[in-house]
Chains A and B, each alone.
Chain A
């Protein structure tokens, strides 16, 4: 069945390490997004991609990087430059960023720095 899948569900990172969060969708959506969620706060946009091989920074892109080599995949790398990476990360996709339709979310990855 169609959907958006994030892995892993839980991830632990040591100080100074880069880690990559996976996001895959089989909805044939053009647009994909990464959000960060901290306790008691709303979702903040890290990066988005409207089409393959294109991506744009969101509000809090510093310390993160992404790629969009395939339509169905939009991995997020949390680099050592991100000073406070512990958070819940959500990936989403939609038909198109310019289209007024809902975004579908994955189940999230909880990243903890140890």
Chain B
């Protein structure tokens, strides 16, 4: 399964710019992926999900890209706003043990 890192990657962007948050996974059997947003002191909130039979999915201001060849997932946020500042987690699930595995997260800071 995906390892849990000890150091939280950070991304700092200017308000109005686009943000790209990346996530690598190691389990070839993973077939379902989710991005969550977690604000300080709160529980994670669902942003968008994607199944392994897709390589792109769009939501409101967000796009998730899945590259199964290199086991890479990305979250793109368009026109980033101060309210987007949070920690973003990717989570993966495979059809064998059905456990949801979470990455360490990326801290996004939006500068006004």
Contacts and interface: CB of A to CB of B under 8 A. Distances in A.
Interface of A: 6, 33, 35, 40-45, 48, 58, 90, 92, 97-98, 100-108, 110
16 contacts: A33-B100, A40-B6, A40-B7, A40-B104, A42-B103, A44-B102, A97-B98, A100-B31, A100-B32, A100-B49, A102-B46, A102-B49, A104-B46, A105-B44, A105-B45, A108-B42
A41 B5 contact: yes
Contacts of A90: 43-44
Given A105-B43, A107-B43, A40 B32 contact: no
Contacts of A106: 43
Contacts of B5: 40-42
Given A58-B99, A98-B98, A100-B32, A41 B45 contact: no
A97 B32 CA distance: 12
B99 A41 contact: no
Interface string B15-59: 000000000000000011010100001111110010100000000
Interface string B46-86: 10010100000000000000000000000000000000000
Contacts of B105: 42
B99 A108 contact: no
A102 B34 contact: yes
Contacts of A41: 4-6, 8, 104
Given A42-B4, A58-B99, A98-B98, A107 B42 contact: yes
B6 A100 contact: no
A33 B100 CA distance: 10
Given A98-B98, A100-B31, A43 B89 contact: yes
Given A40-B6, A40-B7, A45 B46 contact: no
